[in-house]
C-alpha cells in the first residue's frame, strides 16, 4: 500500500503527537503537507515550530526551511485578502 509522506510518518510514529511535535523534520513534513492542501496559516505555524526546534538543537536552521516559512506566510496573507 502506497502512503503519502505525512501518513507514512504518522504510522511510523504511531500517531504520537508528542514525538511528531518534537521532531523538526516531522513538523516540516506536516507543514509542507498543510501548505500543499491549502492550509497556509497552519503550515506557517508548524514550519515555524520546526525552525525553532532545529535552531534549539543545532544552533541554526537550513535556509530552505526558513524560506518555506516565508512561502507559507505569503500564502496565508493571500488568503486573508
Domain assignment of residue 37, yes or no: yes
* 35 lies in some domain: yes
Q: Give a yes or no: residue 42 inside a domain.
A: yes
Per-residue pLDDT of the chain (81 residues; tens, 9 = 90+): 678 888 889 999 999 999 999 999 999 999 999 999 999 999 999 999 999 999 999 999 999 999 999 999 999 999 988
- 13 in Cβ contact with 33 (< 8 Å): no
Report how far residue 24's alpha carbon sits from residue 71's, in angstroms, rounded to the nearest whole number.
18
Report pLDDT for 81: 81
- The pLDDT value given to residue 18: 93
Angle between helix axes 40-58 and 63-80 (nearest 10 degrees) is: 160
- Domain extent, residue 62, equals 25-80
Residue 1 confidence (pLDDT): 60
**11 is a domain residue:** no
Which residue in this structure is represented by grid cell 515550530?
49
Amino acid at each position: 500500500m502506497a502512503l503519502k509522506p505525512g501518513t507514512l510518518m504518522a504510522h511510523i510514529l504511531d500517531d504520537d503527537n508528542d514525538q511528531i511535535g518534537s521532531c523538526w523534520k516531522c513538523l516540516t513534513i506536516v507543514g509542507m503537507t498543510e501548505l500543499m492542501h491549502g492550509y497556509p496559516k497552519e503550515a506557517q505555524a508548524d514550519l515555524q515550530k520546526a525552525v525553532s526546534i532545529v535552531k534549539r538543537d543545532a544552533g541554526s536552521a537550513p535556509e530552505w526551511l526558513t524560506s518555506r516559512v516565508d512561502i507559507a506566510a505569503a500564502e496565508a496573507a493571500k488568503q486573508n485578502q
